[in-house]
Amino acid sequence: MLQLAVILPTYRERANIAPMVARLDAALQGVAWEAIFVDDNSPDGTADEVRRIALDDPRVRVIERIGRRGLASAAIEGMCATAAPIVAVMDADQQHDPELLPKMLSAVESGEYDLAYASRFAEGASTEEWGRPDRVKASGLANRIANKVTGVELSDPMSGYFMLRAETLRADAHRLSGVGFKILLDILATVDRPLKVKEFPLNFVARIEGESKLDQTVVFEFLVGLYDKWLGRIIPTRFALFGTVGALGVAVQLGALWVLLKLIAGERFVYGNWSESATFNTANTLAAIIAMTFNFVLNNELTYSDKRLRGFGPLMRGWAQFGLTCSLGLLTNIGSAAVLKTIGFHAVIAVIVGIVLGSVWNFALSSRFVWGK
Ligand code: GDD
Ligand code: MN
């Protein structure tokens, strides 16, 4: 009977698939296991490589997701796609040693522990190479915050290598956020009863094939994850990101306007001098386009990182659509403020309501038409 499912999220890991399966096979002698690769339509043909191996080995299969990105959501979907009573999640890039799996399995299967995980910072663990030295520091800080949030003392709550009973996971799967890279942390913070956790020291070896995908955004994803956990139900995370980017856009427009006025008119320009209104309008139009472009880029990188538009064509189309969306949002913004002002609301309230309505409209339209699929 099937005992264990190993979930391996992949993005551009083609060269690691065959060695990974061979190492699982060697490490899990005597265990009835299956391996589920969850691939986000990697351009290097990772999913095809898994299918090639799966033809001869029914223990191996792939879930290929189209138009989606994200390690956490890939892990969740993989864990929900097996009949095995126990599930493990690990990186597919061979940085996680499969030799730990049988030890983790005994800890969980015996019922002594609810969850087993591999720690890069436990006694006896080591990390061979971190792409960038500041990641160790960022990781240390993240760990301290994480321990506060979950109430569980773990030396490495950001670990991507763990094992637990599938039913523990499935009971709360709908409450997991699926944002970012901190899936273990998310599970610990989401499951209501405290889990008994067994820590295994991991020798986190350097990558041989391929490259890391989470260098630049790991801290950002972590913060977004925390937000999602605590406030995401009140103001949806994506809308909060969209709104934050929008607020930054206001600052960008003001800054750009100031610079442009200096450039175009030099010292001659004086605020409030309306004979300069043509200059002002030209500069402000340019500034608005700059801010709109800034918002488009930031939303594409952060707010919609899982649906990011890539390549010249899609980016230009997206930019134009976003511009159109923003114009409609602006009409809503100004229009609703005008109506409220006319029926007697205080100007400040009218303006704020206008901004909120305009943003909601912008968000609704752009998530449907710019980043929708
Ligand atoms: N499906 C899918 N989608 N898989 C992904 C994605 C994605 O968007 N991004 C990364 N992966 C896969 C990679 O292919 C790899 O198998 C695994 O997730 C880990 O990604 P890496 O890019 O190799 O991560 P790392 O080694 O830099 O980061 C390690 O430390 C993090 C915490 O600091 C990993 O152990 C992470 O799991 C861990 O959260
Ligand atoms: Mn890695």
Q: Phi, psi at residue 9, to the nearest 5°? A: -65, 140
Q: What is the mean pLDDT of residues 215-227?
A: 74
Q: How far apart are CA 291 and CA 329, in angstroms?
A: 14
Query: Which residue of 91, 209, 222 sits with most ligand 1 atoms within 8 Å of its CB, as the best mutation to test the pocket?
Result: 91
Q: pLDDT higher for 151 or 118?
A: 118
β-pair partners for 5: 34, 87
H or E stretch covering 275: none
Residue 268 is predicted with a pLDDT of 67
Q: pLDDT higher for 143 or 110?
A: 110
CA distances from 221 to 58, 137, 246, 347 (A): 35, 16, 19, 38
Mean pLDDT over each residue of the chain, to the nearest integer: 88
Residue 188 is predicted with a pLDDT of 86
- Per-residue pLDDT tens digits for 164-215: 999 999 888 888 877 766 788 888 888 878 889 999 999 999 888 888 876 5
Ligand 1 atom, smallest distance to 218 CA: 33
Q: What ipTM was reported for this prediction?
A: 0.97
Residue 272 is predicted with a pLDDT of 61
Q: Is residue 204 classed as helix, strand or coil in its secondary structure?
A: strand
- Residue 121 — pLDDT band, cuts 50, 70, 90? confident
Q: pLDDT higher for 308 or 144?
A: 308
Residue 158 is predicted with a pLDDT of 83
Is pLDDT above 70 for 238?
yes
Residue spans of alpha helices (H) in 120-236:
134-150, 166-172, 183-190, 218-231
Ligand 2 geometric centre to CA of 158 (Å): 13
Q: How far apart are CA 223 and CA 272, in angstroms?
A: 42
- Residue 162 — pLDDT band, cuts 50, 70, 90? very high
Q: Residue written as tokens 């591999």?
A: 118
Ranking 45-59, 214-228, 251-265, 335-349 by mean pLDDT, the lowest is 214-228
Is pLDDT above 80 for 132?
no
Lining ligand 1 with CB less than 6 A are 9-11, 13, 38-40, 69-71, 74, 91-93, 95, 139, 158, 160, 181, 212-214, 218
Is pLDDT above 80 for 145?
no
Pick the closest to residue 178 from 74, 72, 88 (CA basis): 72
| Percent of the chain's residues with pLDDT above 70 | 91
Residue pair 302/338 in contact (Cβ under 8 Å)? The answer is: no
Contacts of 350 (CB under 8 A, 6+ apart): 336, 337, 338, 340, 341
Is pLDDT above 60 for 5?
yes
Ligand 2 geometric centre to CA of 16 (Å): 11
Cα angle: 227, vertex 230, 233; to 5 degrees? 95
Nearest CA to ligand 1 atom 38: 160
Full set of structural domains in the chain with CATH: 4-212 (3.90.550.10), 237-370 (no CATH)
Q: How far apart are CA 318 and CA 149, in angstroms?
A: 38
β-pair partners for 89: 7, 162
Q: How far apart are CA 337 and CA 268, in angstroms?
A: 33
Q: How far apart are CA 209 and CA 12, in angstroms?
A: 10
Per-residue burial over 278-303, b if 16 or more Cβ lie within 10 Å, else e, is ebbeebbebbbebbbebbbebbbebb
Residue 134 is predicted with a pLDDT of 54
Ligand 2 geometric centre to CA of 221 (Å): 16
Residue 270 is predicted with a pLDDT of 66
Q: Phi, psi at residue 276, to the nearest 5°? A: -95, 15
Is pLDDT above 70 for 222?
yes
Ligand 2 geometric centre to CA of 82 (Å): 24
Ligand 1 geometric centre to CA of 214 (Å): 6
Nearest CA to ligand 1 atom 33: 158
Q: pLDDT higher for 306 or 106?
A: 106
Residue 282 is predicted with a pLDDT of 86
Pick the closest to residue 164 from 98, 88, 102, 100 (CA basis): 88
Q: pLDDT higher for 308 or 200?
A: 200
Q: Residue written as tokens 């972590």?
A: 222
Residue spans of alpha helices (H) in the chain:
14-27, 46-56, 71-79, 101-109, 134-150, 166-172, 183-190, 218-231, 237-265, 277-298, 312-342, 347-369
CA distances from 109 to 4, 155, 166, 373 (A): 10, 23, 11, 42
Q: Is residue 119 classed as helix, strand or coil in its secondary structure?
A: strand
